Amino acid sequence: MDDDAPDTLSRPRSRRAAWYLTASGVLLIAAAVGLAAFGGFARHSFSVGPARLSVAATLSTRPVTAIVVPPFGSVRAATHRLPLFLRISLDEIDIPQLETFAAEETLDQATTDAWVEDVRSGFSRAIEKGLIAAGLAGAFAGWALRRSWRSVVASTAVAVIVPALLVAATAATLDLDAFRTPRFRGAVAYAPSLIELVQSRAEKVESLREQVSKLAVDLARYYDSPQSFAPAGALEGTYRILHVTDLHLDPVGLELAEELAREFSASLVIDTGDINHYGSPVEAMVVASQVPTSVPQLFVPGNHDSPAIIDALDALEHVTVLRDEATEVDGLVVFGVADPASEGQAVEPDRQAMSERAEEIADDLAARIRSGESTPTIVAVHNTAMVKPFEGLAPLIVAGHSHTPVLERRGDTWYLNTGTTGGIHFSRMRAEPHIPHSASVLYFTGELPRRLIAIDQIEVYGIAGQSSLRRTVIDETLLP
């Protein structure tokens, strides 16, 4: 009997140890489940002034606060050290109301205070949703693992307390002064003058609230400054077409396109794609409201243009979207070839798909021309990789995508790449050399049939406040 005593005494201890280990495991699982549920549901959408925002708090190895403004980019600052990513994103915007703020400068202290309070309330609501989700997930985990009410209560408590402590510690250490030295990502980085403006403001203001107010007014003024243009000796008596490309929803580029169309008395605008960045519903709304309405426009989708963007443009009466088809405007035949990537959400172009599509469409076009159909005056494509099969099938091919202006003769066909009317360099957001905003004016004879006379290549260097125009005469005998 004495030999068996130690085993008898050890059994309760073993059971207690196993119970403690099991309980600890359940609580650890509850904590993990709670954090995961919190990160998945800690988000909220609400209205602030002329905008609709969404906020979110998610677990991340990069603890920053990000203000995201599609499609222009994001501003990020290292406001805390705990593994929580805080995001404020612009989802919708009332453009007429925003224009009123910009024109009248009604963004006073009281308005800014109200907006900041709305954002705080939005974050509070998002955190509340996340904690509720964490509690429910913890309760489910406790019941599934132990099937006892004690386990459910303990798991629920742990699942809520762990993310709550994380949020509380983040709030206690949050340093909004970090936005005095922000990091820029996206289209805003192409404008060094804008970055300098932000940095100089950050040195002078005394609080984040003042910084928001002053920067809002400065940005409104920045984008409200028109690029002054004279028609630079536009050839009178000619039929003029403005070619723009790769606008990427740049406000300065959109304004420049509208002013050039007006100053050069363009009868038609041809846009060879990439009017936006990501093809999101927000961008579709902006596109529909910002595309100039004074001149008829032909649009050829690029790799950044999604079905949502194309639908938004299709709904505009003055815009005709060309997807592997021809249209006639004022006796001028334009054949547009869409980038295959525009048929879905993928942004990266597929070179093999483009090449095969271009060969197929070019062969079909050549067959139709041989059968008696009209030869296109212009073939418009987005990606330069789709140009070669169409050489010889039209007097002029216009394209974009590369953001690099090119004008050259290839056999019987002139090839024009206007560059980027958005002034954006995607391969590397760099301050030098600055990528200019560019556009082209095509001159055709006033009488039918339309024949190409000359091409003006225009570049605007916004940083230096300079512009250039280079004219290439295609046929001197047609000069008015």
- The predicted-structure confidence for 165-216, as pLDDT tens digits, reads as follows 999 999 888 887 776 555 655 443 333 333 343 334 434 433 434 444 444 4
Residue of 205, 209, 267 whose CA lies nearest to 234: 267
Whole-number Cα distances in Å, 461 to 87, 134, 190, 289, 424: 33, 52, 12, 26, 12
pLDDT over 50 (residue 480): yes
Lowest-confidence range among 24-33, 141-150, 184-193, 469-478? 184-193
Mean pLDDT computed over 74-79: 77
1: in domain: no
Q: Are 124 and 199 within one domain?
A: yes
* Of the residues 168, 188, 221, the one at which a domain ends: 221
Q: Give the 3-state secondary structure percentages of the chain, helix then strand then coil, rounded to 5.
A: 45, 25, 30
Mean pLDDT computed over 280-298: 81
Q: Are 202 and 302 within one domain?
A: no
Q: Are 205 and 279 within one domain?
A: no
- The predicted-structure confidence for 326-366, as pLDDT tens digits, reads as follows 999 999 999 999 999 888 877 777 788 888 999 999 999 99
Q: Are 316 and 367 within one domain?
A: yes
CB 257 within 8 A of CB 247: yes
Three-state DSSP string of 333-352? EEEEECCHHHHCCCCCCCHH
Rounded CA-CA distance 480/476 in Å is 9
Rounded CA-CA distance 236/433 in Å is 35
Check residue 424 and give its pLDDT: 67
Rounded CA-CA distance 210/135 in Å is 38
Rounded CA-CA distance 171/318 in Å is 51
CB 333 within 8 A of CB 374: yes
4: in domain: no
3: in domain: no
Higher pLDDT, 466 or 342: 342
Partners of 48 in the beta sheet? 51
Residue 315 CA, chain-centre distance (Å), reads 21
Q: Are 143 and 108 within one domain?
A: yes
Largest CA distance in the chain: 122
Rounded CA-CA distance 450/445 in Å is 5
Pairing of strands 239-244, 73-77: unpaired
CB 258 within 8 A of CB 229: no
Q: Are 87 and 211 within one domain?
A: yes
Pairing of strands 183-185, 413-417: unpaired
Check residue 214 and give its pLDDT: 47
At residue 269's C-alpha, the angle toward residues 398 and 252, to 5°, is 95
367: in domain: yes
Rounded CA-CA distance 352/333 in Å is 28
Q: Are 184 and 243 within one domain?
A: no
Both tokens assigned to 194: 């804008």
What percent of the chain is predicted at pLDDT more than 70? Answer: 75
Q: Are 187 and 280 within one domain?
A: no
Q: What is the pTM of this model?
A: 0.56
Q: Are 109 and 252 within one domain?
A: no
Whole-number Cα distances in Å, 221 to 67, 216, 255, 259, 340: 21, 9, 13, 17, 38
- The predicted-structure confidence for 411-430, as pLDDT tens digits, reads as follows 999 999 999 998 765 544 44
Check residue 70 and give its pLDDT: 60
| Helix, coil or strand: residue 224 | helix
363: in domain: yes
CB 213 within 8 A of CB 112: yes
- The CATH code of the domain that includes 240 is 3.60.21.10
206: in domain: yes
CB 33 within 8 A of CB 138: yes
Rounded CA-CA distance 290/251 in Å is 9
* Of the residues 195, 221, 247, the one at which a domain ends: 221
- Name the DSSP letter for residue 390: G
Q: Are 266 and 384 within one domain?
A: yes
345: in domain: yes
* Of the residues 200, 221, 242, the one at which a domain ends: 221
227: in domain: no
Q: Are 334 and 355 within one domain?
A: yes
Q: Are 244 and 105 within one domain?
A: no
Using CB atoms within 10 Å of the CB of residue 235, give its burial: 0 to 12 exposed, 13 to 18 middle, 19+ buried.
buried
Domain count, the chain: 2
Per-residue pLDDT band at 104 (split at 50, 70, 90): low
Domain coverage including residue 44: 14-221
Q: Which amino acid is at 415?
A: Y
Residue that is written with structure tokens 């059994």 in the block: 11
pLDDT over 70 (residue 370): yes
